[in-house]
Amino acid sequence: MQEQHLYEYAIIRVVPRVEREEFINVGVVICHWKRNFLACKIHLNTQKLLMLDPHADVEMIALNLASFEKICTGSEAGGNIASMDLASRFRWLTAVRSSIIQTSRPHSGTAEDLEKTLECLFEENVG
């Protein structure tokens, strides 16, 4: 039997008109400190986005989501935040903010396979 891992995750959201507080789920970010695991899966459904806001800047939102992913993976292209340690990057990515890209509050769970769990969370919340 494999070991169960305690992880944290948050749902990544796009809020095209922040004042209306309407959003679509576009991804999941998951973190396990002890295994040095931080990953995300993102997919922007532009049709859903444009239903919420027909004037949404899809290109700008896609660029911001790409930056989110670069920070998550620790890519040099992610700037100073991407060079922070794993815990700090997860906390920065999931911090409460009033912007077009937001996350849910972090939740926790246990799993044997973190990659598979990321896929399942993505399908359940974004798919």
pTM of the model: 0.93
pLDDT tens readout for residues 50-97: 999 999 999 999 999 999 999 999 999 999 999 999 999 999 999 998
pLDDT tens readout for residues 32-46: 988 889 999 999 999
Rounded Cα distance between 41 and 119, Å, is: 8
Rounded Cα distance between 82 and 67, Å, is: 9
In 4-35, which positions are buried (b, 16+ CB within 10 angstroms) versus exposed (e)?
Answer: ebebbbbbbbbbbeeeeeebbbbbbbbbbeee
Mean pLDDT for the chain overall: 94
pLDDT reading at 1 higher than 60: no
DSSP 3-state percent helix, strand, coil across the chain (nearest 5) = 40, 25, 30
Rounded Cα distance between 109 and 88, Å, is: 20
Rounded Cα distance between 31 and 14, Å, is: 20
